[in-house]
Amino acid sequence: QKEVEQDPGPLSVPEGAIVSLNCTYSNSAFQYFMWYRQYSRKGPELLMYTYSSGNKEDGRFTAQVDKSSKYISLFIRDSQPSDSATYLCAMTPNTGTASKLTFGTGTRLQVTL
């Protein structure tokens, strides 16, 4: 079983919809959680970075962490065709020299007109 599970999709939604992307994980030591967006044939770019449990909002994006359930989510409001990309979750036990990032396999999102 992988440490981080992520539904590969593809997930297709109409423009303007609310999108929910999710990851589950098994390692209770994970403390820092990230969401990256990757366009086709490009490198991942950081979208959201959260520590421990709770919500964080940035524009149309909201990241949610539920450590008790080992479950993280990324919500995209008013989705746009430009949001069509693969979304990767990543997590680590702590920052500093003793940890590394563990990535999900990515969810491919398509926002249609």
Partner 1 sequence: DGGITQSPKYLFRKEGQNVTLSCEQNLNHDAMYWYRQDPGQGLRLIYYSQIVNDFQKGDIAEGYSVSREKKESFPLTVTSAQKNPTAFYLCASSRERGNIQYFGAGTRLSVL
66 binds partner 1 (CB under 8 A): no
- The total of other beta-carbon atoms located within 10 Å of residue 98's CB is 8
Window 14-53: contact mask with partner 1 (x via CB under 8 A):
------------------x-x-x----xxxxxx--x----
Q: Closer CB to partner 1, residue 48 or residue 79?
A: 48
Q: Closer CB to partner 1, residue 18 or residue 101?
A: 101
CA–CA–CA angle 107, 108, 112 (5° rounding): 135
Reading the block at residue 53, the tokens are 């449990």
93/98 Cα distance (integer angstroms): 9
Residues that bind partner 1 (CB under 8 A): 6, 8, 32, 34, 36, 41-46, 49, 88, 90, 92-101, 103-106
